[in-house]
Amino acid sequence: MSLDKTFLEYPRRKYGMDHDRYDWSMLTDRPKVIWPEDKKLALWVNVCLQFFPINQKGKPFVPTGGMTMPYPDLRHYSLREYGNRVGIYRFLKAFDEYSIKPTFALNTRVAERYPYLMDVLKEREDEILCHGLHMDALHYGGQDIDEERKQIDYSLSKLRELSGQDVTGWISPDRSESDNTPDLLAEHGVQYFCDWVNDDMPYQFKTNNGEIVAMPLSQELEDSFILLNNKHTEDSYVEQICDACDFLIDEADEQGGRILSLNIHPWMLGQPHRIGKLESVLEYVTSKSEVWSASAADILKEYKRNGSS
């Protein structure tokens, strides 16, 4: 039985992509970006500080790292909490040792539940971006737009209040989105979001409320993706990051500045048997004279300064 031809018909089909969210362009054809001091590689270390409800609804899916056992799943709940109680402090020590300028992606519920942690982050004055309300408050196709608008409004307004920062960046819980999410983010003053992983450099993204920037926060190099999803070893994690670093520096010689984005979680890499692997990564990358450690907002600022907006 042949497939009905209507399955192959799509009124918006065109060269490059099937939507109008951004202008199609090849990475190799774009203007070269020059980072400060002529550095070739911008290092963006993005730390996800997350809260996983023990009574998750899992709608429309169980998020990565979510509860997997019958309620109350104290085994996984307490392991996730370990990151915000113990692992994060190992991160901070490593960042200071290797002169890393991290960016912290917070679930707003973390800011509400862990005031002592917020005090530490506020004292450090590192950039904070919004990671949604919590890890079970997902954004998804078919979600009522008013419900999602309230969700985003509360997440951003409360985090801005508790952090004392403007909070101009966003990454959805588990990178989940509806068709309306980018429009609602722009409506609420978000300048960049990190859910789309289809590029190695920032690009302008169109919404019904003006443009925002899609920032390339790699999923392939994310600790949970390599260790939890792909089930690779910790040594392999280190090898993959170092390989990516070397490759991107070489590519930048011909094509202009690149970004090495590392999305990491203290409940994973903050474990005593793994923190040394993160330190090995940071030691290797920062040993390269071509590397510029910067926050996500700083990278975006320099990207725009280069006239690439």
DSSP string for 91-116: HHHHHHHTT---EEEE-HHHHHH-HH
Task: Name residue 34's amino acid.
Answer: I
Which domain covers residue 266, as residue numbers? 33-305
Structural domain includes residue 135: yes
Structural domain includes residue 27: no
Q: What is the pLDDT of residue 1?
A: 64
Structural domain includes residue 80: yes
Q: What is the pLDDT of residue 94?
A: 98
Domain count, the chain: 1
Structural domain includes residue 173: yes
Q: What is the pLDDT of residue 14?
A: 72
Would you give the DSSP letter of residue 38?
Answer: G
Q: What is the pLDDT of residue 8?
A: 74
Q: What is the pLDDT of residue 308?
A: 64
Structural domain includes residue 5: no
Residue 90: φ, ψ to 5°: -70, -35
Parallel, antiparallel or unpaired: strands 41-49 and 210-214: unpaired
Q: What is the pLDDT of residue 11?
A: 75
What's the CATH code of the domain at 45?
Answer: 3.20.20.370
Cβ-proximal residues to 254 (8 Å cutoff; 6+ apart), any chain: none
The rounded Cα 264 to chain-centroid distance in angstroms is 9
**pLDDT tens, residue order, the chain (309 aa):** 677 877 777 777 777 677 889 998 889 999 999 999 999 999 999 999 999 999 999 999 999 999 999 999 999 999 999 999 999 999 999 999 999 999 999 999 999 999 999 999 999 999 999 999 999 999 999 999 999 999 999 999 999 999 999 999 999 999 999 999 999 999 999 999 999 999 999 999 999 999 999 999 999 999 999 999 999 999 999 999 999 999 999 999 999 999 999 999 999 999 999 999 999 999 999 999 999 999 999 999 999 999 764
CA atoms within 13 A on the CB side of 164: 10
Structural domain includes residue 25: no
The rounded Cα 226 to chain-centroid distance in angstroms is 15
- For residues 104-131, b (16+ Cβ closer than 10 Å) or e, as one string? bbbbbbbbbebeebbeebeeeebbbbbb
Q: Which helix (H) or strand (E) holds 49?
A: strand 41-49
3-state secondary structure of 223: helix
Structural domain includes residue 259: yes
| Complete DSSP assignment for 171-194 | --GGG---TTHHHHHHHTT--EE-
Structural domain includes residue 128: yes
Cα→Cα distances 166→69, 161, 185, Å: 38, 9, 14
Q: Per DSSP, what are the bridge partners of residue 169?
A: 192
